[in-house]
Structure 1
Protein backbone atom coordinates (compact mmCIF):
# COMPACT_ATOMS: atom_id res chain seq x y z
CA UNK A 1 0.00 0.00 0.00
CA UNK A 2 2.87 2.36 0.76
CA UNK A 3 4.33 2.23 -2.75
CA UNK A 4 0.90 2.69 -4.34
CA UNK A 5 0.24 5.71 -2.14
CA UNK A 6 3.60 7.24 -3.04
CA UNK A 7 2.96 6.64 -6.74
CA UNK A 8 -0.44 8.30 -6.43
CA UNK A 9 1.09 11.39 -4.83
CA UNK A 10 3.75 11.55 -7.53
CA UNK A 11 1.00 11.33 -10.14
CA UNK A 12 -0.91 14.13 -8.44
CA UNK A 13 2.14 16.39 -8.44
CA UNK A 14 2.66 15.69 -12.14
CA UNK A 15 -0.94 16.63 -12.92
CA UNK A 16 -0.65 19.84 -10.93
CA UNK A 17 2.59 20.88 -12.64
CA UNK A 18 1.25 20.02 -16.10
CA UNK A 19 -1.84 22.14 -15.51
CA UNK A 20 0.13 25.14 -14.26
CA UNK A 21 2.38 24.97 -17.32
CA UNK A 22 -0.68 24.81 -19.57
CA UNK A 23 -1.89 28.05 -17.97
CA UNK A 24 1.39 29.81 -18.70
CA UNK A 25 2.43 30.00 -15.05
CA UNK A 26 6.13 30.56 -14.26
CA UNK A 27 8.29 27.46 -14.45
CA UNK A 28 10.74 28.82 -11.87
CA UNK A 29 10.06 30.90 -8.77
CA UNK A 30 12.24 32.77 -6.32
CA UNK A 31 10.18 32.15 -3.20
CA UNK A 32 6.78 31.06 -1.97
CA UNK A 33 4.56 32.04 0.93
CA UNK A 34 1.74 30.08 2.54
CA UNK A 35 -0.82 32.51 3.93
CA UNK A 36 -2.74 31.58 7.07
CA UNK A 37 -6.19 32.59 8.28
CA UNK A 38 -6.93 36.24 7.61
CA UNK A 39 -3.52 36.89 6.03
CA UNK A 40 -4.48 36.49 2.38
CA UNK A 41 -4.33 40.24 1.73
CA UNK A 42 -0.54 40.00 1.52
CA UNK A 43 -0.96 39.27 -2.20
CA UNK A 44 -1.80 42.97 -2.65
CA UNK A 45 1.95 43.60 -2.28
CA UNK A 46 2.60 41.62 -5.48
CA UNK A 47 2.29 42.61 -9.12
CA UNK A 48 -0.02 39.75 -10.01
CA UNK A 49 0.36 37.67 -13.15
CA UNK A 50 -1.81 34.61 -12.43
CA UNK A 51 -4.52 33.82 -9.91
CA UNK A 52 -5.98 30.33 -10.12
CA UNK A 53 -8.68 29.00 -7.78
CA UNK A 54 -7.64 25.74 -6.17
CA UNK A 55 -10.88 24.23 -7.49
CA UNK A 56 -9.59 24.58 -11.08
CA UNK A 57 -6.29 22.78 -10.46
CA UNK A 58 -6.46 19.01 -11.02
CA UNK A 59 -5.59 16.87 -7.97
CA UNK A 60 -5.15 19.97 -5.78
CA UNK A 61 -6.70 19.96 -2.29
CA UNK A 62 -9.45 22.44 -1.49
CA UNK A 63 -9.46 24.88 1.40
CA UNK A 64 -12.72 24.88 3.34
CA UNK A 65 -11.86 27.13 6.28
CA UNK A 66 -13.25 30.63 6.78
CA UNK A 67 -10.59 33.23 6.07
CA UNK A 68 -8.90 31.14 3.37
CA UNK A 69 -9.79 32.29 -0.15
CA UNK A 70 -8.42 29.17 -1.84
CA UNK A 71 -6.29 30.44 -4.72
CA UNK A 72 -2.79 29.90 -6.07
CA UNK A 73 -1.25 33.23 -6.99
CA UNK A 74 1.84 34.14 -8.98
CA UNK A 75 3.26 37.64 -8.98
CA UNK A 76 6.37 39.80 -9.01
CA UNK A 77 8.05 41.55 -6.10
CA UNK A 78 10.87 43.86 -7.19
CA UNK A 79 11.72 41.61 -10.12
CA UNK A 80 11.42 38.34 -8.20
CA UNK A 81 8.78 35.76 -9.12
CA UNK A 82 6.72 34.80 -6.08
CA UNK A 83 4.11 32.11 -5.58
CA UNK A 84 1.50 32.56 -2.85
CA UNK A 85 -0.94 30.04 -1.46
CA UNK A 86 -3.95 32.03 -0.30
CA UNK A 87 -5.44 29.32 1.86
CA UNK A 88 -4.03 26.06 3.20
CA UNK A 89 -5.16 22.56 4.05
CA UNK A 90 -5.55 21.02 7.47
CA UNK A 91 -5.49 17.51 8.83
CA UNK A 92 -8.90 18.10 10.43
CA UNK A 93 -10.43 18.77 7.00
CA UNK A 94 -9.96 15.10 6.18
CA UNK A 95 -6.64 15.35 4.34
CA UNK A 96 -3.70 13.08 4.98
CA UNK A 97 -0.49 14.70 6.16
CA UNK A 98 1.07 14.11 2.72
CA UNK A 99 -1.77 16.07 1.12
CA UNK A 100 -1.42 19.01 3.50
CA UNK A 101 2.21 19.46 2.39
CA UNK A 102 1.50 19.53 -1.35
CA UNK A 103 2.20 23.31 -1.36
CA UNK A 104 5.67 22.63 0.06
CA UNK A 105 6.38 19.99 -2.57
CA UNK A 106 5.15 22.30 -5.32
CA UNK A 107 7.38 25.09 -4.00
CA UNK A 108 10.37 22.74 -4.10
CA UNK A 109 9.46 21.45 -7.57
CA UNK A 110 9.46 25.00 -8.94
CA UNK A 111 12.97 25.64 -7.67
CA UNK A 112 12.25 28.15 -4.92
CA UNK A 113 15.15 29.23 -2.74
CA UNK A 114 12.97 29.82 0.33
CA UNK A 115 9.51 29.29 1.78
CA UNK A 116 7.67 31.48 4.29
CA UNK A 117 4.86 29.88 6.24
CA UNK A 118 2.38 31.96 8.22
CA UNK A 119 -0.46 31.08 10.53
CA UNK A 120 -2.96 32.45 12.97
CA UNK A 121 -2.25 31.08 16.44
CA UNK A 122 -3.54 31.29 19.97
CA UNK A 123 -1.26 32.80 22.58
CA UNK A 124 -0.27 30.43 25.40
CA UNK A 125 2.62 32.47 26.78
CA UNK A 126 1.11 34.89 29.28
CA UNK A 127 3.30 37.73 28.00
CA UNK A 128 1.89 37.45 24.46
CA UNK A 129 -0.85 39.82 23.38
CA UNK A 130 -3.31 39.68 20.50
CA UNK A 131 -1.61 41.11 17.41
CA UNK A 132 1.91 40.00 18.39
CA UNK A 133 4.13 38.25 15.85
CA UNK A 134 6.16 35.17 16.76
CA UNK A 135 8.98 33.58 14.78
CA UNK A 136 8.75 29.82 15.27
CA UNK A 137 11.81 28.44 17.00
CA UNK A 138 10.62 24.91 17.67
CA UNK A 139 7.65 22.63 17.04
CA UNK A 140 5.97 20.76 19.89
CA UNK A 141 3.73 17.82 18.93
CA UNK A 142 2.00 16.46 22.04
CA UNK A 143 0.15 13.76 20.10
CA UNK A 144 3.03 12.72 17.82
CA UNK A 145 0.60 11.53 15.15
CA UNK A 146 2.46 13.08 12.26
CA UNK A 147 5.16 12.43 9.72
CA UNK A 148 8.58 11.56 11.08
CA UNK A 149 10.50 14.67 12.01
CA UNK A 150 13.50 15.25 9.76
CA UNK A 151 16.91 15.17 11.40
CA UNK A 152 17.60 18.30 9.35
CA UNK A 153 15.01 20.26 11.30
CA UNK A 154 17.22 22.12 13.73
CA UNK A 155 20.15 23.08 11.54
CA UNK A 156 18.03 23.71 8.45
CA UNK A 157 15.46 25.93 10.16
CA UNK A 158 17.48 27.72 12.81
CA UNK A 159 19.45 29.97 10.44
CA UNK A 160 16.30 31.22 8.74
CA UNK A 161 14.56 31.73 12.10
CA UNK A 162 17.59 33.72 13.28
CA UNK A 163 17.39 35.85 10.14
CA UNK A 164 13.64 36.41 10.43
CA UNK A 165 14.03 37.62 14.00
CA UNK A 166 16.89 39.94 13.00
CA UNK A 167 14.96 41.35 10.03
CA UNK A 168 11.90 42.04 12.18
CA UNK A 169 14.10 43.87 14.66
CA UNK A 170 15.72 45.89 11.86
CA UNK A 171 12.25 46.89 10.67
CA UNK A 172 11.37 48.09 14.15
CA UNK A 173 8.74 45.41 14.62
CA UNK A 174 8.09 43.94 18.02
CA UNK A 175 8.39 40.19 17.57
CA UNK A 176 8.68 37.15 19.81
CA UNK A 177 10.60 33.98 19.24
CA UNK A 178 8.92 30.89 20.62
CA UNK A 179 7.63 27.34 20.51
CA UNK A 180 4.64 26.49 18.31
CA UNK A 181 2.50 23.69 19.69
CA UNK A 182 0.63 21.77 17.01
CA UNK A 183 -2.84 20.30 17.63
CA UNK A 184 -5.20 18.53 15.22
CA UNK A 185 -8.25 20.79 15.61
CA UNK A 186 -10.79 21.84 14.53
CA UNK A 187 -12.06 22.70 18.01
CA UNK A 188 -10.33 25.32 20.07
CA UNK A 189 -8.45 23.98 23.07
CA UNK A 190 -9.91 23.74 26.57
CA UNK A 191 -8.60 25.64 29.58
CA UNK A 192 -7.11 22.42 30.99
CA UNK A 193 -5.36 21.61 27.72
CA UNK A 194 -3.82 25.07 27.52
CA UNK A 195 -2.53 24.71 31.07
CA UNK A 196 -0.88 21.42 30.07
CA UNK A 197 0.51 22.86 26.83
CA UNK A 198 2.09 25.76 28.70
CA UNK A 199 3.75 23.26 31.03
CA UNK A 200 5.17 21.54 27.92
CA UNK A 201 6.83 24.79 26.89
CA UNK A 202 4.33 25.97 24.29
CA UNK A 203 4.19 29.69 23.54
CA UNK A 204 1.52 29.56 20.83
CA UNK A 205 -0.91 26.89 19.66
CA UNK A 206 -2.28 26.20 16.21
CA UNK A 207 -3.63 23.62 13.77
CA UNK A 208 -1.21 23.91 10.86
CA UNK A 209 2.39 24.68 9.88
CA UNK A 210 4.18 21.85 11.70
CA UNK A 211 4.00 19.30 8.88
CA UNK A 212 4.83 22.00 6.31
CA UNK A 213 8.01 23.04 8.12
CA UNK A 214 9.07 19.43 8.60
CA UNK A 215 8.51 18.61 4.93
CA UNK A 216 10.54 21.65 3.91
CA UNK A 217 13.36 20.42 6.15
CA UNK A 218 13.15 16.95 4.61
CA UNK A 219 13.47 18.48 1.13
CA UNK A 220 16.33 20.77 2.16
CA UNK A 221 14.21 23.85 1.42
CA UNK A 222 14.99 26.84 3.69
CA UNK A 223 11.76 27.74 5.46
CA UNK A 224 10.57 29.85 8.35
CA UNK A 225 7.29 29.98 10.20
CA UNK A 226 5.72 33.18 11.52
CA UNK A 227 2.67 33.13 13.79
CA UNK A 228 0.28 36.01 14.24
CA UNK A 229 -1.23 35.80 17.71
CA UNK A 230 -4.89 36.33 16.89
CA UNK A 231 -6.45 35.33 20.18
CA UNK A 232 -5.55 34.51 23.74
CA UNK A 233 -5.88 30.77 24.25
CA UNK A 234 -8.66 29.32 26.40
CA UNK A 235 -8.67 30.29 30.06
CA UNK A 236 -6.39 33.31 29.74
CA UNK A 237 -8.99 36.07 29.34
CA UNK A 238 -12.12 34.23 30.44
CA UNK A 239 -13.82 35.09 27.13
CA UNK A 240 -15.11 32.59 24.56
CA UNK A 241 -12.94 32.04 21.49
CA UNK A 242 -14.29 32.85 18.02
CA UNK A 243 -13.05 33.23 14.46
CA UNK A 244 -13.89 36.96 14.33
CA UNK A 245 -10.90 37.59 16.61
CA UNK A 246 -8.66 36.03 13.99
CA UNK A 247 -9.86 38.38 11.27
CA UNK A 248 -9.64 41.47 13.48
CA UNK A 249 -6.08 40.73 14.63
CA UNK A 250 -4.93 39.93 11.10
CA UNK A 251 -6.40 43.17 9.78
CA UNK A 252 -4.70 45.21 12.51
CA UNK A 253 -1.23 43.82 11.74
CA UNK A 254 -1.50 43.21 7.99
CA UNK A 255 0.89 46.06 7.08
CA UNK A 256 3.58 44.93 9.51
CA UNK A 257 3.15 41.34 8.36
CA UNK A 258 3.48 42.40 4.71
CA UNK A 259 6.65 44.38 5.45
CA UNK A 260 8.24 41.42 7.21
CA UNK A 261 7.31 38.88 4.54
CA UNK A 262 8.46 41.09 1.66
CA UNK A 263 11.76 41.83 3.35
CA UNK A 264 12.38 38.13 4.03
CA UNK A 265 11.56 37.26 0.42
CA UNK A 266 14.08 39.80 -0.86
CA UNK A 267 16.70 38.98 1.77
CA UNK A 268 19.77 37.30 0.27
CA UNK A 269 21.33 36.18 3.56
CA UNK A 270 19.40 32.89 3.59
Structure 2
Protein backbone atom coordinates (compact mmCIF):
# COMPACT_ATOMS: atom_id res chain seq x y z
CA UNK A 1 0.00 0.00 0.00
CA UNK A 2 1.52 3.28 -1.13
CA UNK A 3 1.45 6.03 1.47
CA UNK A 4 2.26 9.76 1.16
CA UNK A 5 6.01 10.42 0.95
CA UNK A 6 5.97 12.57 4.08
CA UNK A 7 4.82 9.57 6.14
CA UNK A 8 8.04 7.71 5.34
CA UNK A 9 10.03 10.86 6.10
CA UNK A 10 8.37 11.10 9.50
CA UNK A 11 9.01 7.42 10.17
CA UNK A 12 12.67 7.82 9.21
CA UNK A 13 13.04 10.67 11.70
CA UNK A 14 11.38 8.64 14.46
CA UNK A 15 13.50 5.54 13.82
CA UNK A 16 16.60 7.74 13.95
CA UNK A 17 15.34 8.90 17.36
CA UNK A 18 14.85 5.63 19.24
CA UNK A 19 11.57 4.43 17.72
CA UNK A 20 11.48 0.82 16.44
CA UNK A 21 11.22 -0.16 12.78
CA UNK A 22 8.04 -2.17 13.38
CA UNK A 23 5.28 -2.34 15.97
CA UNK A 24 2.51 -4.78 16.83
CA UNK A 25 -0.18 -2.16 17.42
CA UNK A 26 -0.94 1.55 17.28
CA UNK A 27 -3.29 3.42 19.61
CA UNK A 28 -4.95 6.80 19.03
CA UNK A 29 -5.97 8.38 22.34
CA UNK A 30 -8.97 10.68 22.45
CA UNK A 31 -9.77 13.63 24.70
CA UNK A 32 -9.01 12.91 28.35
CA UNK A 33 -7.66 9.42 27.63
CA UNK A 34 -3.98 10.27 27.48
CA UNK A 35 -3.39 8.65 30.89
CA UNK A 36 -3.18 5.34 29.03
CA UNK A 37 0.41 6.33 28.23
CA UNK A 38 1.32 5.82 31.92
CA UNK A 39 0.63 2.09 31.52
CA UNK A 40 3.22 1.67 28.74
CA UNK A 41 6.36 -0.23 29.77
CA UNK A 42 9.73 1.30 28.86
CA UNK A 43 8.03 4.44 27.51
CA UNK A 44 9.74 6.96 25.29
CA UNK A 45 8.00 9.94 23.73
CA UNK A 46 8.60 12.87 21.40
CA UNK A 47 6.35 15.96 21.43
CA UNK A 48 4.51 16.51 18.17
CA UNK A 49 6.06 19.94 17.78
CA UNK A 50 9.52 18.36 17.61
CA UNK A 51 8.66 15.94 14.79
CA UNK A 52 9.37 17.46 11.35
CA UNK A 53 6.26 17.56 9.19
CA UNK A 54 3.96 16.74 12.10
CA UNK A 55 0.92 18.96 12.76
CA UNK A 56 0.16 20.29 16.23
CA UNK A 57 -2.91 19.55 18.32
CA UNK A 58 -4.71 22.46 19.99
CA UNK A 59 -7.52 20.70 21.90
CA UNK A 60 -7.72 20.62 25.69
CA UNK A 61 -7.11 17.07 26.92
CA UNK A 62 -4.63 16.21 24.16
CA UNK A 63 -1.01 16.36 25.32
CA UNK A 64 0.43 16.21 21.80
CA UNK A 65 3.05 13.48 22.19
CA UNK A 66 3.91 10.34 20.27
CA UNK A 67 4.83 7.43 22.54
CA UNK A 68 6.53 4.12 21.97
CA UNK A 69 7.17 1.28 24.39
CA UNK A 70 5.69 -2.12 25.17
CA UNK A 71 2.35 -3.41 26.41
CA UNK A 72 2.23 -7.03 27.53
CA UNK A 73 5.50 -7.53 25.69
CA UNK A 74 4.19 -6.07 22.41
CA UNK A 75 5.91 -3.06 20.88
CA UNK A 76 3.46 -0.22 20.23
CA UNK A 77 3.14 3.41 19.28
CA UNK A 78 0.50 5.64 20.90
CA UNK A 79 -0.73 9.03 19.74
CA UNK A 80 -1.64 11.17 22.75
CA UNK A 81 -3.70 13.66 20.80
CA UNK A 82 -5.19 13.74 17.32
CA UNK A 83 -5.86 16.26 14.56
CA UNK A 84 -9.49 17.31 14.10
CA UNK A 85 -11.06 18.55 10.90
CA UNK A 86 -12.67 21.40 12.86
CA UNK A 87 -9.22 22.70 13.84
CA UNK A 88 -8.69 23.50 10.17
CA UNK A 89 -6.79 20.34 9.27
CA UNK A 90 -7.66 18.76 5.91
CA UNK A 91 -8.95 15.19 6.03
CA UNK A 92 -5.58 13.99 4.73
CA UNK A 93 -4.02 15.30 7.95
CA UNK A 94 -6.66 13.86 10.28
CA UNK A 95 -5.68 10.37 9.08
CA UNK A 96 -1.92 10.88 9.47
CA UNK A 97 -1.79 8.58 12.55
CA UNK A 98 -3.44 5.83 10.52
CA UNK A 99 -0.87 6.16 7.74
CA UNK A 100 2.00 6.22 10.22
CA UNK A 101 0.67 3.08 11.92
CA UNK A 102 0.67 1.39 8.53
CA UNK A 103 4.21 2.59 7.83
CA UNK A 104 5.33 0.99 11.11
CA UNK A 105 3.70 -2.27 9.92
CA UNK A 106 1.19 -2.32 12.79
CA UNK A 107 -1.08 -5.35 12.70
CA UNK A 108 -3.92 -3.56 14.49
CA UNK A 109 -5.12 -0.06 15.24
CA UNK A 110 -7.11 0.87 18.35
CA UNK A 111 -8.92 4.20 18.16
CA UNK A 112 -10.57 5.94 21.11
CA UNK A 113 -12.61 9.09 21.59
CA UNK A 114 -14.78 11.06 23.97
CA UNK A 115 -18.40 11.13 22.82
CA UNK A 116 -21.81 12.43 23.79
CA UNK A 117 -24.58 9.88 24.31
CA UNK A 118 -27.70 10.14 22.17
CA UNK A 119 -29.02 6.74 23.29
CA UNK A 120 -30.95 7.42 26.49
CA UNK A 121 -30.07 3.96 27.84
CA UNK A 122 -26.41 4.98 28.03
CA UNK A 123 -24.79 6.65 31.02
CA UNK A 124 -21.83 8.97 31.48
CA UNK A 125 -18.76 6.77 31.95
CA UNK A 126 -19.95 3.98 29.66
CA UNK A 127 -17.47 2.49 27.19
CA UNK A 128 -19.02 1.77 23.79
CA UNK A 129 -17.54 -0.37 21.04
CA UNK A 130 -18.25 1.22 17.65
CA UNK A 131 -19.81 -1.21 15.21
CA UNK A 132 -21.02 1.30 12.59
CA UNK A 133 -20.60 4.91 11.48
CA UNK A 134 -23.14 7.57 10.49
CA UNK A 135 -21.72 10.37 8.34
CA UNK A 136 -24.64 12.85 7.97
CA UNK A 137 -24.15 12.74 4.20
CA UNK A 138 -20.74 14.40 4.27
CA UNK A 139 -17.39 13.43 2.83
CA UNK A 140 -15.01 12.08 5.47
CA UNK A 141 -12.40 10.31 3.36
CA UNK A 142 -9.39 12.13 1.86
CA UNK A 143 -9.51 9.82 -1.15
CA UNK A 144 -11.42 10.93 -4.25
CA UNK A 145 -13.29 8.64 -6.63
CA UNK A 146 -12.16 5.36 -5.11
CA UNK A 147 -15.17 3.43 -3.81
CA UNK A 148 -14.60 0.80 -1.14
CA UNK A 149 -16.59 -0.90 1.61
CA UNK A 150 -15.98 -0.99 5.33
CA UNK A 151 -17.42 -3.34 7.94
CA UNK A 152 -16.72 -2.78 11.63
CA UNK A 153 -18.98 -5.53 12.96
CA UNK A 154 -16.56 -8.51 12.90
CA UNK A 155 -13.87 -6.72 14.92
CA UNK A 156 -16.53 -5.21 17.21
CA UNK A 157 -17.67 -8.77 17.96
CA UNK A 158 -14.11 -9.67 18.97
CA UNK A 159 -13.78 -6.60 21.19
CA UNK A 160 -17.04 -7.39 22.99
CA UNK A 161 -15.91 -10.99 23.50
CA UNK A 162 -12.56 -9.90 24.97
CA UNK A 163 -14.30 -7.40 27.26
CA UNK A 164 -16.64 -10.13 28.46
CA UNK A 165 -13.74 -12.49 29.13
CA UNK A 166 -12.15 -9.95 31.48
CA UNK A 167 -15.45 -9.22 33.21
CA UNK A 168 -15.96 -5.76 31.74
CA UNK A 169 -19.35 -4.56 30.57
CA UNK A 170 -19.27 -2.42 27.43
CA UNK A 171 -21.96 -0.95 25.22
CA UNK A 172 -22.08 -1.33 21.47
CA UNK A 173 -23.49 0.99 18.85
CA UNK A 174 -23.31 3.52 16.05
CA UNK A 175 -21.03 6.57 16.13
CA UNK A 176 -22.09 9.74 14.36
CA UNK A 177 -19.33 11.98 13.01
CA UNK A 178 -20.02 15.68 13.43
CA UNK A 179 -17.50 18.16 12.05
CA UNK A 180 -17.87 20.52 15.06
CA UNK A 181 -16.54 22.39 16.91
CA UNK A 182 -19.98 23.35 18.16
CA UNK A 183 -22.16 20.84 19.95
CA UNK A 184 -25.28 19.68 18.13
CA UNK A 185 -28.68 21.31 18.69
CA UNK A 186 -31.50 19.61 20.59
CA UNK A 187 -33.43 19.22 17.34
CA UNK A 188 -30.47 17.55 15.64
CA UNK A 189 -30.03 15.12 18.54
CA UNK A 190 -33.72 14.15 18.40
CA UNK A 191 -33.38 13.50 14.66
CA UNK A 192 -30.18 11.48 15.07
CA UNK A 193 -31.81 9.31 17.75
CA UNK A 194 -34.68 8.53 15.37
CA UNK A 195 -32.09 7.49 12.75
CA UNK A 196 -30.51 4.94 15.11
CA UNK A 197 -27.43 6.80 16.29
CA UNK A 198 -26.06 6.01 19.77
CA UNK A 199 -23.23 8.51 20.33
CA UNK A 200 -21.86 11.58 18.58
CA UNK A 201 -18.31 12.94 18.35
CA UNK A 202 -15.96 15.02 16.22
CA UNK A 203 -13.28 12.49 15.25
CA UNK A 204 -12.64 8.77 14.66
CA UNK A 205 -14.82 8.16 11.60
CA UNK A 206 -12.24 9.45 9.07
CA UNK A 207 -9.58 7.34 10.80
CA UNK A 208 -11.68 4.18 10.68
CA UNK A 209 -12.65 4.72 7.05
CA UNK A 210 -9.03 5.23 6.04
CA UNK A 211 -7.85 2.23 8.06
CA UNK A 212 -10.38 0.11 6.21
CA UNK A 213 -9.24 1.46 2.85
CA UNK A 214 -5.58 0.56 3.51
CA UNK A 215 -6.44 -2.83 5.06
CA UNK A 216 -5.37 -2.02 8.61
CA UNK A 217 -7.66 -3.84 11.10
CA UNK A 218 -9.12 -1.23 13.45
CA UNK A 219 -11.20 -1.34 16.62
CA UNK A 220 -12.79 1.77 18.11
CA UNK A 221 -13.99 2.60 21.62
CA UNK A 222 -16.00 5.63 22.68
CA UNK A 223 -16.04 6.87 26.26
CA UNK A 224 -19.37 8.52 27.02
CA UNK A 225 -18.30 11.75 28.70
CA UNK A 226 -21.62 13.60 28.55
CA UNK A 227 -25.21 13.24 27.48
CA UNK A 228 -25.90 15.03 24.20
CA UNK A 229 -27.91 18.24 23.95
CA UNK A 230 -31.47 17.90 25.22
CA UNK A 231 -30.96 14.50 26.89
CA UNK A 232 -30.45 16.18 30.28
CA UNK A 233 -31.44 19.67 31.38
CA UNK A 234 -27.95 21.02 31.81
CA UNK A 235 -25.38 22.93 29.80
CA UNK A 236 -22.73 20.95 27.96
CA UNK A 237 -19.19 21.64 29.16
CA UNK A 238 -15.84 20.28 27.93
CA UNK A 239 -14.72 19.90 31.56
CA UNK A 240 -17.03 16.88 31.76
CA UNK A 241 -14.60 15.03 29.52
CA UNK A 242 -11.82 15.06 32.10
CA UNK A 243 -14.11 13.95 34.93
CA UNK A 244 -15.57 11.04 32.96
CA UNK A 245 -12.15 9.95 31.70
CA UNK A 246 -10.77 10.02 35.23
CA UNK A 247 -13.58 7.75 36.42
CA UNK A 248 -12.86 5.06 33.80
CA UNK A 249 -9.16 5.47 33.05
CA UNK A 250 -8.17 2.18 34.71
CA UNK A 251 -10.89 0.20 32.92
CA UNK A 252 -10.05 1.84 29.61
CA UNK A 253 -6.35 1.04 29.99
CA UNK A 254 -7.12 -2.55 31.00
CA UNK A 255 -9.35 -3.07 27.95
CA UNK A 256 -6.85 -1.53 25.52
CA UNK A 257 -4.03 -3.62 26.99
CA UNK A 258 -6.06 -6.79 26.41
CA UNK A 259 -6.96 -5.74 22.87
CA UNK A 260 -3.29 -5.19 22.07
CA UNK A 261 -2.54 -8.67 23.39
CA UNK A 262 -5.51 -10.66 22.07
CA UNK A 263 -7.15 -8.92 19.13
TM-score w.r.t. structure 1 length? 0.93
Question: What's the counterpart of residue 179 of structure 1?
Answer: 174
SS at match of 2:46: strand
Alignment of 1:1-270 (within 5 A): 10-147=4-141, 151-154=148-151, 157-267=152-262, 270=263
* Structure 2 unaligned blocks of 5 or more: none
CA separation in 2, counterparts of 1:152 and 1:109? Answer: 22
Shift in Å, 1:128? 0.5
Deviations 1:29-88 (A, max 9, x none): 000110000000001111134200000011111110000000000011122101100000
* Structure 1 unaligned blocks of 5 or more: 1-6
Shift in Å, 1:150? 5.9
Conserved? CA contact 1:121–1:205, under 8 Å: yes
Shift in Å, 1:159? 2.0
Shift in Å, 1:17? 1.3
Deviations 1:191-235 (A, max 9, x none): 111111111211000000000001110111110110000000000
TM-aligned CA distance change 1:207 to 1:260, over 3 Å: same
Q: Which has the higher helix share?
A: 1
CA separation in 2, counterparts of 1:110 and 1:11? Answer: 14
CA separation in 1, counterparts of 2:158 and 2:41? Answer: 25
CA separation in 2, counterparts of 1:143 and 1:207? Answer: 15
SS at match of 1:153: coil
Conserved? CA contact 1:150–1:214, under 8 Å: no
Conserved? CA contact 1:135–1:225, under 8 Å: yes
Conserved? CA contact 2:72–2:257, under 8 Å: no
TM-score w.r.t. structure 2 length? 0.95
